[in-house]
Structure 1
Amino acid sequence: MESVQGTIKSFINNSNKIAILGIGNYLKSDDGFGVYVVESLVKNYSKTHENLSLEKEINSVNNRLILMNCGVVPENFTDVIKRENPDKIIMVDAALMHQEPGTLRVVESDEISETGFSTHSLPLSIIIKYINAHIDTEILIIGIEPTDLEFGEPLSGLIKEKADEFSKILIEEIDSFLL
Protein backbone atom coordinates (compact mmCIF):
# COMPACT_ATOMS: atom_id res chain seq x y z
CA MET A 1 0.00 0.00 0.00
CA GLU A 2 2.93 2.35 0.66
CA SER A 3 3.93 2.42 -3.00
CA VAL A 4 0.34 3.15 -4.04
CA GLN A 5 0.16 5.93 -1.44
CA GLY A 6 3.41 7.45 -2.73
CA THR A 7 2.13 7.29 -6.30
CA ILE A 8 -1.14 8.99 -5.32
CA LYS A 9 0.71 11.67 -3.34
CA SER A 10 2.96 12.56 -6.29
CA PHE A 11 0.08 12.24 -8.77
CA ILE A 12 -2.16 14.80 -7.06
CA ASN A 13 0.69 17.11 -6.05
CA ASN A 14 0.31 20.50 -7.76
CA SER A 15 -3.17 19.65 -9.06
CA ASN A 16 -5.90 22.21 -9.39
CA LYS A 17 -8.83 19.82 -9.40
CA ILE A 18 -9.14 16.06 -9.03
CA ALA A 19 -11.94 13.63 -9.73
CA ILE A 20 -12.12 10.21 -8.11
CA LEU A 21 -14.24 7.63 -9.92
CA GLY A 22 -15.41 4.49 -8.14
CA ILE A 23 -16.17 1.80 -10.70
CA GLY A 24 -17.76 -1.59 -10.12
CA ASN A 25 -20.79 -3.66 -9.24
CA TYR A 26 -21.87 -4.34 -5.66
CA LEU A 27 -23.90 -7.29 -6.92
CA LYS A 28 -20.71 -9.15 -7.90
CA SER A 29 -18.87 -9.35 -4.58
CA ASP A 30 -15.38 -7.82 -4.81
CA ASP A 31 -16.22 -6.03 -8.04
CA GLY A 32 -17.85 -3.46 -5.73
CA PHE A 33 -14.42 -2.33 -4.45
CA GLY A 34 -14.30 0.98 -6.34
CA VAL A 35 -17.88 1.89 -5.48
CA TYR A 36 -17.26 1.05 -1.81
CA VAL A 37 -14.15 3.26 -1.72
CA VAL A 38 -15.94 6.28 -3.20
CA GLU A 39 -18.88 5.78 -0.82
CA SER A 40 -16.37 5.75 2.07
CA LEU A 41 -14.93 9.05 0.84
CA VAL A 42 -18.41 10.57 0.55
CA LYS A 43 -19.23 9.45 4.12
CA ASN A 44 -16.01 11.02 5.39
CA TYR A 45 -16.47 14.35 3.63
CA SER A 46 -20.21 14.55 4.33
CA LYS A 47 -19.28 15.31 7.96
CA THR A 48 -17.89 18.68 6.87
CA HIS A 49 -19.79 19.30 3.63
CA GLU A 50 -23.56 19.28 4.03
CA ASN A 51 -24.27 18.94 0.30
CA LEU A 52 -22.76 15.44 0.11
CA SER A 53 -25.07 12.45 0.12
CA LEU A 54 -24.76 8.76 -0.68
CA GLU A 55 -28.03 9.19 -2.56
CA LYS A 56 -26.22 11.03 -5.35
CA GLU A 57 -23.79 9.53 -7.83
CA ILE A 58 -21.84 12.79 -8.20
CA ASN A 59 -20.59 14.72 -5.19
CA SER A 60 -18.59 17.93 -5.39
CA VAL A 61 -16.72 18.28 -2.12
CA ASN A 62 -15.58 21.75 -3.17
CA ASN A 63 -14.25 23.38 -6.33
CA ARG A 64 -11.12 21.15 -6.19
CA LEU A 65 -12.56 17.66 -5.58
CA ILE A 66 -15.38 15.68 -7.16
CA LEU A 67 -16.33 12.14 -6.18
CA MET A 68 -18.24 9.95 -8.64
CA ASN A 69 -19.91 6.61 -8.02
CA CYS A 70 -19.88 5.35 -11.61
CA GLY A 71 -21.09 1.82 -10.98
CA VAL A 72 -20.66 -0.30 -14.10
CA VAL A 73 -21.11 2.56 -16.57
CA PRO A 74 -18.23 5.03 -16.22
CA GLU A 75 -18.94 6.14 -19.80
CA ASN A 76 -22.17 7.74 -18.53
CA PHE A 77 -20.04 10.21 -16.54
CA THR A 78 -17.91 11.55 -19.38
CA ASP A 79 -20.08 14.66 -19.81
CA VAL A 80 -19.67 15.47 -16.12
CA ILE A 81 -15.92 14.90 -16.40
CA LYS A 82 -15.74 17.23 -19.41
CA ARG A 83 -17.82 19.89 -17.61
CA GLU A 84 -15.82 19.66 -14.37
CA ASN A 85 -12.52 19.53 -16.31
CA PRO A 86 -10.27 18.02 -13.62
CA ASP A 87 -6.56 18.06 -14.36
CA LYS A 88 -6.19 14.69 -12.57
CA ILE A 89 -8.52 11.68 -12.46
CA ILE A 90 -8.16 8.63 -10.24
CA MET A 91 -10.17 5.56 -11.28
CA VAL A 92 -10.63 2.86 -8.62
CA ASP A 93 -11.79 -0.61 -9.67
CA ALA A 94 -11.39 -4.33 -9.15
CA ALA A 95 -9.00 -5.69 -11.77
CA LEU A 96 -7.99 -9.17 -12.84
CA MET A 97 -4.22 -8.67 -12.88
CA HIS A 98 -3.03 -12.25 -12.17
CA GLN A 99 -1.81 -11.19 -8.71
CA GLU A 100 -2.49 -12.47 -5.20
CA PRO A 101 -6.03 -11.62 -4.07
CA GLY A 102 -6.03 -8.28 -2.28
CA THR A 103 -3.06 -6.92 -4.24
CA LEU A 104 -3.60 -3.21 -4.75
CA ARG A 105 -1.55 -1.50 -7.43
CA VAL A 106 -1.42 1.06 -10.18
CA VAL A 107 -2.51 -0.32 -13.54
CA GLU A 108 -0.26 1.27 -16.14
CA SER A 109 -1.78 2.52 -19.39
CA ASP A 110 0.00 -0.13 -21.45
CA GLU A 111 -1.51 -2.86 -19.22
CA ILE A 112 -5.13 -1.77 -19.52
CA SER A 113 -5.94 -3.94 -22.52
CA GLU A 114 -4.47 -7.00 -20.77
CA THR A 115 -6.20 -6.37 -17.45
CA GLY A 116 -9.69 -7.69 -16.84
CA PHE A 117 -12.23 -5.07 -15.85
CA SER A 118 -15.15 -7.40 -16.32
CA THR A 119 -18.38 -5.53 -15.62
CA HIS A 120 -17.98 -2.45 -17.80
CA SER A 121 -20.15 -1.76 -20.79
CA LEU A 122 -17.16 -0.24 -22.59
CA PRO A 123 -13.49 -1.09 -22.05
CA LEU A 124 -11.66 1.42 -19.82
CA SER A 125 -9.12 1.98 -22.59
CA ILE A 126 -11.84 3.46 -24.84
CA ILE A 127 -13.23 5.63 -22.04
CA ILE A 128 -9.75 6.95 -21.26
CA LYS A 129 -9.06 7.75 -24.93
CA TYR A 130 -12.39 9.58 -25.13
CA ILE A 131 -11.69 11.63 -21.99
CA ASN A 132 -8.17 12.49 -23.15
CA ALA A 133 -9.51 13.60 -26.55
CA HIS A 134 -11.83 16.12 -24.86
CA ILE A 135 -9.92 17.49 -21.87
CA ASP A 136 -6.31 17.91 -20.84
CA THR A 137 -6.04 15.53 -17.90
CA GLU A 138 -3.89 12.80 -16.43
CA ILE A 139 -5.51 9.52 -15.39
CA LEU A 140 -4.35 7.10 -12.71
CA ILE A 141 -5.98 3.68 -12.40
CA ILE A 142 -5.81 1.85 -9.08
CA GLY A 143 -6.84 -1.80 -9.25
CA ILE A 144 -7.27 -4.51 -6.66
CA GLU A 145 -7.11 -8.23 -7.38
CA PRO A 146 -10.47 -9.66 -6.26
CA THR A 147 -10.95 -12.88 -4.34
CA ASP A 148 -14.56 -13.41 -5.38
CA LEU A 149 -16.75 -12.15 -8.24
CA GLU A 150 -19.80 -14.31 -7.53
CA PHE A 151 -23.16 -12.74 -8.21
CA GLY A 152 -25.14 -11.86 -5.11
CA GLU A 153 -22.24 -11.99 -2.66
CA PRO A 154 -21.02 -8.99 -0.59
CA LEU A 155 -17.42 -7.77 -0.59
CA SER A 156 -15.16 -10.51 0.76
CA GLY A 157 -13.56 -9.88 4.14
CA LEU A 158 -10.09 -9.38 2.63
CA ILE A 159 -11.24 -6.89 -0.01
CA LYS A 160 -13.39 -4.95 2.47
CA GLU A 161 -10.38 -4.70 4.80
CA LYS A 162 -8.19 -3.50 1.92
CA ALA A 163 -10.90 -1.05 0.80
CA ASP A 164 -11.06 0.45 4.29
CA GLU A 165 -7.25 0.78 4.42
CA PHE A 166 -7.14 2.32 0.95
CA SER A 167 -9.97 4.74 1.78
CA LYS A 168 -7.97 6.00 4.79
CA ILE A 169 -4.92 6.50 2.59
CA LEU A 170 -6.97 8.42 0.02
CA ILE A 171 -8.53 10.60 2.72
CA GLU A 172 -5.08 11.39 4.12
CA GLU A 173 -3.75 12.40 0.69
CA ILE A 174 -6.90 14.30 -0.25
CA ASP A 175 -6.80 16.23 3.03
CA SER A 176 -3.19 17.23 2.29
CA PHE A 177 -4.22 18.23 -1.24
CA LEU A 178 -7.17 20.34 -0.02
CA LEU A 179 -5.10 22.34 2.50
Structure 2
Amino acid sequence: MSEANPASSRARPQRIVVLGIGNLLWADEGFGVRCIEALQQRYEFAPHVSLIDGGTQGLYLIQHVQEADALLIFDAIDYGLAPGTLKEVRDEEVPRFMGAKKMSLHQTGFQEVLSLALLTGKYPAQVLLIGCQPQELEDYGGSLRPIVKAAMQEALALGVAQLQRWGGAPQPRRSPLSTREAVTLDALALGAYEAQRPAPEQACRMGDARFFPQEG
Protein backbone atom coordinates (compact mmCIF):
# COMPACT_ATOMS: atom_id res chain seq x y z
CA MET A 1 0.00 0.00 0.00
CA SER A 2 1.46 3.38 -0.90
CA GLU A 3 0.70 7.06 -0.93
CA ALA A 4 2.56 8.86 -3.69
CA ASN A 5 3.07 12.38 -4.99
CA PRO A 6 3.25 12.71 -8.78
CA ALA A 7 6.75 13.10 -10.19
CA SER A 8 7.47 16.19 -12.20
CA SER A 9 9.26 16.11 -15.54
CA ARG A 10 12.77 17.55 -15.22
CA ALA A 11 16.19 17.37 -16.80
CA ARG A 12 18.16 14.21 -16.15
CA PRO A 13 20.72 14.66 -13.37
CA GLN A 14 24.45 14.17 -13.90
CA ARG A 15 25.11 12.61 -10.49
CA ILE A 16 22.61 10.39 -8.67
CA VAL A 17 23.00 9.31 -5.06
CA VAL A 18 20.85 6.52 -3.60
CA LEU A 19 20.98 6.55 0.17
CA GLY A 20 19.61 4.12 2.73
CA ILE A 21 19.62 5.31 6.32
CA GLY A 22 18.70 3.67 9.60
CA ASN A 23 19.97 1.24 12.21
CA LEU A 24 19.97 -2.46 11.33
CA LEU A 25 20.03 -3.44 15.00
CA TRP A 26 16.60 -2.00 15.83
CA ALA A 27 14.12 -4.05 13.82
CA ASP A 28 12.18 -1.92 11.29
CA GLU A 29 14.61 0.97 11.64
CA GLY A 30 16.82 -0.99 9.28
CA PHE A 31 14.36 -0.63 6.38
CA GLY A 32 16.39 1.95 4.46
CA VAL A 33 19.67 0.07 4.68
CA ARG A 34 17.98 -3.20 3.70
CA CYS A 35 16.57 -1.49 0.61
CA ILE A 36 20.03 -0.36 -0.47
CA GLU A 37 21.40 -3.85 0.16
CA ALA A 38 18.68 -5.47 -1.96
CA LEU A 39 18.95 -2.85 -4.69
CA GLN A 40 22.67 -3.48 -5.06
CA GLN A 41 22.24 -7.27 -5.04
CA ARG A 42 19.57 -7.20 -7.75
CA TYR A 43 20.59 -4.36 -10.08
CA GLU A 44 23.46 -2.67 -11.85
CA PHE A 45 23.40 1.03 -12.67
CA ALA A 46 25.07 3.67 -14.81
CA PRO A 47 28.48 4.90 -13.57
CA HIS A 48 27.02 8.19 -12.32
CA VAL A 49 24.80 6.36 -9.79
CA SER A 50 26.20 5.82 -6.26
CA LEU A 51 24.57 3.50 -3.71
CA ILE A 52 25.41 4.38 -0.12
CA ASP A 53 24.67 2.65 3.18
CA GLY A 54 24.20 5.79 5.26
CA GLY A 55 23.47 3.90 8.46
CA THR A 56 23.35 6.40 11.32
CA GLN A 57 26.18 8.64 10.09
CA GLY A 58 24.20 11.88 10.30
CA LEU A 59 26.30 14.94 9.41
CA TYR A 60 28.99 12.76 7.87
CA LEU A 61 26.61 12.32 4.92
CA ILE A 62 26.61 16.01 4.01
CA GLN A 63 29.21 15.59 1.26
CA HIS A 64 27.13 12.98 -0.54
CA VAL A 65 24.02 15.15 -0.37
CA GLN A 66 25.78 18.30 -1.56
CA GLU A 67 27.39 16.51 -4.51
CA ALA A 68 24.15 14.96 -5.74
CA ASP A 69 22.06 16.41 -8.55
CA ALA A 70 19.37 13.87 -7.63
CA LEU A 71 18.98 12.11 -4.30
CA LEU A 72 16.88 9.01 -3.62
CA ILE A 73 16.41 8.17 0.08
CA PHE A 74 15.01 5.01 1.64
CA ASP A 75 14.11 5.19 5.34
CA ALA A 76 11.64 4.07 7.98
CA ILE A 77 9.45 7.07 8.77
CA ASP A 78 6.70 7.38 11.36
CA TYR A 79 3.91 9.00 9.36
CA GLY A 80 1.22 7.73 11.73
CA LEU A 81 -0.04 5.35 9.05
CA ALA A 82 -0.67 1.60 9.05
CA PRO A 83 2.53 -0.47 9.38
CA GLY A 84 4.09 -1.24 6.03
CA THR A 85 2.51 1.77 4.29
CA LEU A 86 4.82 3.54 1.86
CA LYS A 87 4.78 7.26 1.23
CA GLU A 88 6.75 9.30 -1.27
CA VAL A 89 7.88 12.83 -0.39
CA ARG A 90 9.77 15.11 -2.74
CA ASP A 91 12.24 17.96 -2.87
CA GLU A 92 12.00 20.73 -0.23
CA GLU A 93 9.26 18.84 1.62
CA VAL A 94 11.67 16.05 2.60
CA PRO A 95 13.38 17.81 5.56
CA ARG A 96 10.00 18.73 7.03
CA PHE A 97 8.70 15.17 6.87
CA MET A 98 11.87 13.69 8.32
CA GLY A 99 11.58 16.04 11.28
CA ALA A 100 7.84 15.71 11.85
CA LYS A 101 8.08 12.82 14.31
CA LYS A 102 11.63 11.73 14.93
CA MET A 103 12.08 8.08 15.82
CA SER A 104 15.79 8.18 16.59
CA LEU A 105 18.95 10.27 16.63
CA HIS A 106 19.80 9.26 13.07
CA GLN A 107 16.74 11.13 11.80
CA THR A 108 17.66 14.21 13.80
CA GLY A 109 21.13 14.09 12.25
CA PHE A 110 19.94 13.56 8.72
CA GLN A 111 17.34 16.30 8.93
CA GLU A 112 20.23 18.60 9.84
CA VAL A 113 22.17 17.36 6.82
CA LEU A 114 19.30 18.28 4.50
CA SER A 115 18.78 21.65 6.19
CA LEU A 116 22.49 22.44 5.93
CA ALA A 117 22.48 21.52 2.25
CA LEU A 118 19.60 23.94 1.72
CA LEU A 119 21.37 26.72 3.62
CA THR A 120 24.59 26.27 1.64
CA GLY A 121 22.73 26.33 -1.67
CA LYS A 122 23.93 22.82 -2.50
CA TYR A 123 20.63 20.99 -2.16
CA PRO A 124 20.00 18.40 -4.91
CA ALA A 125 17.76 19.65 -7.70
CA GLN A 126 15.59 16.57 -7.26
CA VAL A 127 14.98 14.58 -4.08
CA LEU A 128 12.70 11.62 -3.48
CA LEU A 129 12.18 10.06 -0.05
CA ILE A 130 10.55 6.62 -0.08
CA GLY A 131 9.54 6.08 3.52
CA CYS A 132 7.94 3.07 5.15
CA GLN A 133 5.81 3.14 8.27
CA PRO A 134 7.51 0.83 10.81
CA GLN A 135 5.71 -1.70 12.98
CA GLU A 136 8.36 -2.43 15.61
CA LEU A 137 11.41 -0.43 16.70
CA GLU A 138 11.97 -1.59 20.29
CA ASP A 139 13.62 -4.90 19.44
CA TYR A 140 17.39 -4.70 19.74
CA GLY A 141 18.90 -7.37 17.53
CA GLY A 142 15.57 -7.93 15.79
CA SER A 143 14.99 -7.86 12.05
CA LEU A 144 12.36 -6.32 9.80
CA ARG A 145 8.82 -7.37 10.66
CA PRO A 146 7.12 -9.36 7.88
CA ILE A 147 4.81 -6.53 6.83
CA VAL A 148 7.73 -4.12 6.50
CA LYS A 149 9.92 -6.67 4.72
CA ALA A 150 7.07 -7.27 2.25
CA ALA A 151 6.83 -3.51 1.63
CA MET A 152 10.42 -3.52 0.41
CA GLN A 153 9.34 -5.03 -2.90
CA GLU A 154 7.09 -2.10 -3.76
CA ALA A 155 9.64 0.38 -2.38
CA LEU A 156 12.34 -1.05 -4.63
CA ALA A 157 10.01 -0.96 -7.64
CA LEU A 158 9.25 2.71 -6.96
CA GLY A 159 12.94 3.47 -6.56
CA VAL A 160 13.98 1.64 -9.73
CA ALA A 161 11.26 3.41 -11.72
CA GLN A 162 12.50 6.79 -10.49
CA LEU A 163 16.11 5.91 -11.26
CA GLN A 164 15.03 4.92 -14.75
CA ARG A 165 13.36 8.31 -15.25
CA TRP A 166 16.47 10.04 -13.96
CA GLY A 167 18.66 8.17 -16.45
CA GLY A 168 20.27 5.82 -13.93
CA ALA A 169 19.90 2.89 -16.37
CA PRO A 170 18.96 0.15 -13.86
CA GLN A 171 19.48 -3.35 -15.25
CA PRO A 172 19.16 -6.77 -13.60
CA ARG A 173 22.51 -7.73 -12.12
CA ARG A 174 24.54 -10.03 -14.37
CA SER A 175 27.63 -10.55 -12.23
CA PRO A 176 27.73 -11.39 -8.51
CA LEU A 177 28.89 -8.80 -6.02
CA SER A 178 32.31 -9.15 -4.51
CA THR A 179 32.75 -8.69 -0.76
CA ARG A 180 34.61 -5.47 -1.43
CA GLU A 181 31.77 -4.03 -3.52
CA ALA A 182 28.90 -4.88 -1.15
CA VAL A 183 27.47 -1.94 0.79
CA THR A 184 26.65 -4.25 3.72
CA LEU A 185 29.19 -6.38 5.55
CA ASP A 186 28.67 -10.12 5.04
CA ALA A 187 27.94 -10.65 8.75
CA LEU A 188 25.20 -7.99 8.66
CA ALA A 189 23.59 -9.02 5.38
CA LEU A 190 19.93 -9.83 5.87
CA GLY A 191 20.22 -13.61 5.52
CA ALA A 192 23.21 -13.94 7.83
CA TYR A 193 21.79 -11.50 10.35
CA GLU A 194 18.49 -13.34 10.66
CA ALA A 195 20.15 -16.75 10.79
CA GLN A 196 22.69 -15.87 13.48
CA ARG A 197 20.83 -13.53 15.84
CA PRO A 198 19.71 -15.12 19.14
CA ALA A 199 16.04 -15.71 19.82
CA PRO A 200 14.33 -13.48 22.42
CA GLU A 201 14.28 -16.46 24.80
CA GLN A 202 18.07 -16.75 24.62
CA ALA A 203 19.06 -13.09 24.78
CA CYS A 204 17.31 -9.96 25.99
CA ARG A 205 16.26 -7.92 22.97
CA MET A 206 13.92 -5.43 24.68
CA GLY A 207 16.40 -3.87 27.11
CA ASP A 208 17.88 -5.08 30.37
CA ALA A 209 15.24 -5.15 33.13
CA ARG A 210 17.91 -4.36 35.74
CA PHE A 211 18.04 -0.81 34.41
CA PHE A 212 14.31 -0.15 34.31
CA PRO A 213 12.16 0.85 37.29
CA GLN A 214 9.97 -1.92 38.65
CA GLU A 215 6.21 -1.50 38.58
CA GLY A 216 4.26 -1.46 41.80
TM-score (norm 2): 0.64
Q: 2:82 aligns with which of 100, 104, 107?
A: 100
Q: Runs of 5+ in structure 2 lacking a partner?
A: 170-216
Q: 1:153 pairs with 142, 145, 148, which one?
A: 142
CA RMSD of aligned residues (A): 2.5
Pick closer, same or farther for the CA change 1:124–1:39 going to 2, 3 Å: same
Q: Residue 41 of structure 1 aligns to a residue in which SS? A: helix
Q: Which amino acid aligns with 1:43?
A: Q
Partner residue in 1 for 2:194: none
User: What secondary structure is seen at the aligned counterpart in 2 of 1:151?
Assistant: coil
Task: Between the two structures, name the one with larger relative contact order (CA 8 Å, sep ≥ 6).
Answer: 1
**2:11 matched residue in structure 1:** 14
User: In structure 1, which of residues 135, 139, 161 is the aligned counterpart of residue 127 of structure 2?
Assistant: 139
Give the share of equivalent positions with the same residue, in percent.
24
Structure number with greater Rg is 2
Task: Please say if residues 58 and 109 of structure 2, whose CA atoms lie closer than 8 Å, have aligned partners that are also in contact.
Answer: no
CA distance in 2, matches of 1:37, 1:22: 7
Is 2:80–2:133's contact at 8 Å kept on the other side of the alignment? yes
Q: Please, which runs of 5 or more residues in structure 1 have no aligned partner?
A: 49-60
Question: What do the CA deviations read for 1:74-118 (whole angstroms, capped 9, x no partner)?
Answer: 422222444xx2212122111122111111113434333322241
Aligned residue pairs: how many? Answer: 160
Is it true that 1:77 corresponds to 2:61 in the alignment? yes
Corresponding letter in the other structure for 2:11: N
Would the alpha carbon gap of residues 80 and 111 (structure 1) be closer, same or farther in structure 2, given more than 3 Å must change? closer
Deviation at 1:171, TM superposition (A): 2.1
Q: Take 2:97 and 2:39, find their aligned partners in 1: how far apart are those partners?
A: 27
Which structure: greater helix fraction? 1
Alignment pair present for 1:38 and 2:36: yes
2:109 to 123, 141, 152: 123
For residues 35 and 152 of structure 2, the distance between their equivalents in structure 1, rounded to whole angstroms, comes to 6
Q: Distance in 1 between matches of 2:142 and 2:37?
A: 18
